[in-house]
Structure 1
Amino acid sequence: MIAALAPFHFERPLWLLALIPALALWLIERRSSDMLLRWQRVIDPALLPHLIVGETRPAILSPINALMVGWLLTIIAVAGPAWQREPSPFAAAKPAVAVVLKVAPSMLTEDLAPTRLDRARQKLADILAAREGAATSLIAYAGSAHLVLPPTPDSAVVLDLAKALSPEIMPREGDDLSGALALADRVIAGTGDGGSILVMTDTAGPQATTGLSGPKAATTMLSLLPAEVEAGGLREVAQALGASLVVTTADQADVAEVARRLDRADQAASVAGEGRHWREAGYWLTPLIALLALLWFRRGWVLQ
């Protein structure tokens, strides 16, 4: 119990200064309601005790004492007592993912019906559905890398722009995977909440690994090759990046594996406490404040 209360603090401690005027008003009112203090100025102190009939001091359960307790509880509640953390309701459910999609002539090969590029779009739609609410950015690359869409939770926009991509609109042919990963790293760093990179590609030639260094963000590669084709070149690139390679399957097994790896990276990022805030416990005092307020509905209470 003591260990659990070790991080106890107030979110808005300056509100505790309101206790000073509350205590001053309580003392002033208490003195004015003291019968002995009222009559000591005009009656001899030796005779005063014999002339006072009934209670000479305010009762413990009096309006002024109840009001002071109500003030005390209200000020503490407004100051925001807290000792536990919880996920922020305004934080993203999952950190962002930068999707790096290869848009080159090789992606029009029809060994993955209808084409490798179309299959990539289908897999992307399934992955976005599995990670609903996660911010997703889209990067297209061939001989050069280009940011198509910054991180957005709107999966429909991501898919619409992915469908509009084709090798014909790319300014240069080639395989600039290193440039695409560098761009993806900058996009993830710009979110401020971390994230991961998903590379969707079919091949990675020798020129793709030129100057290639491991990205800072966790990287997963989805091989857009038929199951019977060995993804040897991609395995070497993935090993150089420290990335995980997932082979495309005819069912949803590859989608589930990619989503699991991306979610596992999300959990690692959340360990540092990102997107978490202190849970205020002041609302627990509300019932006590309400019970004290009920006393003022009692007949004759204010006149005591």
Structure 2
Amino acid sequence: MNDAISAFHFIRPWAFVLIPIAGAVAWWWKTNSDPLRGWRTQIDSDLLSALTSDGSSANDAWWKRESNLVFLSAGWLLAVVAIAGPTWKVEANPFAQDAQPLIILLKADESMASTALTTPPLERAKLKIADLASARKGEPLGLVAYSGSAHAVLPPTEDTTVVAEMAAEINPSIMPKSGDALDQAILVAGRLLENHDGATILVMADQANLDAKQVIDAHQSIGAPAIEFLSLLPEESQETQSLQSLADSLRGQRVPLTVDDRDIQSIIQFAERRSSTGLAGESDRWQETGYWLSPLLACMVAMSFRREKSERQEPAK
């Protein structure tokens, strides 16, 4: 919900210049819709009220004019909002025939297997990889494991179930040496992502224990693809802040771990946006939502054709 609110904007904000026209139309309506406007300048209001069919009719006519004015103004403003194009989500790029790869860089050193928490960070990461594999079923997903060294586990494959199964088998005991070689993992991911301009790298880690410049240099050397981090420790911890600082340095995104699938959905949406912008000559396409106001506008137009009650009196017999 917060992502939708922060992304909300209007595709054509210049359409709001039409609002002053609504004021001019309202003024014209108010000054020209009164059938007695000419008489009001010639006859006293009390006498004019007595000369009309009855006093209540004049009040009814005034109320009808005012309600029509409000109705017309509301319809105009609604139409302006629809034309402005309210939106909060990205539309899939029509020129992108296939989903772009997402490479997971899974940290697998001893700190990820820590039992200080009820569920170790590595086990949390494996569960999230299974959720991500299910959510991206049929879309290319790859896996790189790293600690003191980095190793390609699977190149991007549409069989995402295999990625989840391979991730489940990764643990610190199978890694050649301990440490934090995220820069090497990024270089390995770069080799797997050749000829994929719209691909995304996802780092799943508890913390970053290396010089940020090493990571930045490695990221730049493979073309600076979109990168995001899923932090596996509590938000207030210093370890999480180290990932946030690194994400800021790489102009990436850090996603907090959640108990539901909000983190997975955020990861997928980020990858889709970057996939669109990664295509040569293309930029983000925001989905039109103003057309949802069309049924309401149609109802307002239909109501404007309602039958009016006749005030004509039958002649006395």
Sort the TM-score into its range (normalised by shorter chain). Answer: 0.5 to 0.7
1:240 aligned partner: 249
Deviation sequence 1:63-95 (CA, Å, 0-9, x none): xxxxxxxxxxxxxxxxxxxxxxx658xx42x10
The answer to whether residue 273 in structure 2 is matched with residue 269 in structure 1 is no
User: 1:277-292 residue pairs with structure 2 within 5 A?
Assistant: none
Once the two structures are TM-superposed, the CA of residue 134 in structure 1 deviates from its matched residue by: 1.4
The whole-number CA distance in structure 1 between the counterparts of 2:251 and 2:131 is 25
Identify the range of structure 1 (103-112 vs 135-144) with the bigger mean alpha-carbon deviation.
103-112
Q: 1:147 aligns with which of 142, 148, 152?
A: 152
User: 1:106-121 residue pairs with structure 2 within 5 A?
Assistant: 106-121=111-126
The whole-number CA distance in structure 2 between the counterparts of 1:111 and 1:254 is 23
The whole-number CA distance in structure 2 between the counterparts of 1:104 and 1:170 is 8
Once the two structures are TM-superposed, the CA of residue 206 in structure 1 deviates from its matched residue by: 3.2
The whole-number CA distance in structure 2 between the counterparts of 1:152 and 1:160 is 13
1:256 aligned partner: 265
Q: 2:179 aligns with which of 167, 174, 177?
A: 174
User: 1:219-230 residue pairs with structure 2 within 5 A?
Assistant: 219-230=227-238
Once the two structures are TM-superposed, the CA of residue 128 in structure 1 deviates from its matched residue by: 2.2
The whole-number CA distance in structure 2 between the counterparts of 1:177 and 1:229 is 20
Q: Which amino acid aligns with 1:203?
A: Q
Once the two structures are TM-superposed, the CA of residue 152 in structure 1 deviates from its matched residue by: 0.4
The whole-number CA distance in structure 2 between the counterparts of 1:119 and 1:171 is 22
1:49 aligned partner: none
The whole-number CA distance in structure 2 between the counterparts of 1:229 and 1:139 is 26
As a proportion of its length, which structure holds more helix?
2
User: 1:59-98 residue pairs with structure 2 within 5 A?
Assistant: 91-92=97-98, 94-98=99-103
What stretches of structure 2 of length at least 5 have no aligned partner? 1-93, 283-317
Give the 3-state SS of the residue equivalent to 2:194 in structure 1.
helix
Once the two structures are TM-superposed, the CA of residue 98 in structure 1 deviates from its matched residue by: 0.9
The whole-number CA distance in structure 1 between the counterparts of 2:258 and 2:215 is 31
> Whose radius of gyration is greater, 1 or 2?
1
Identify the range of structure 1 (178-187 vs 199-208) with the bigger mean alpha-carbon deviation.
199-208
CA RMSD of aligned residues (A): 2.5
The whole-number CA distance in structure 1 between the counterparts of 2:252 and 2:215 is 16
Once the two structures are TM-superposed, the CA of residue 109 in structure 1 deviates from its matched residue by: 1.9
The whole-number CA distance in structure 1 between the counterparts of 2:100 and 2:203 is 17
- Paired residues of 2:226 and 2:274 also in contact (CA < 8 A): yes
Give % identity. 35
User: 1:21-100 residue pairs with structure 2 within 5 A?
Assistant: 91-92=97-98, 94-100=99-105
Q: TM-score, normalised by structure 1?
A: 0.56
Once the two structures are TM-superposed, the CA of residue 161 in structure 1 deviates from its matched residue by: 0.8
What stretches of structure 1 of length at least 5 have no aligned partner? 1-85, 274-304
The whole-number CA distance in structure 2 between the counterparts of 1:242 and 1:188 is 19
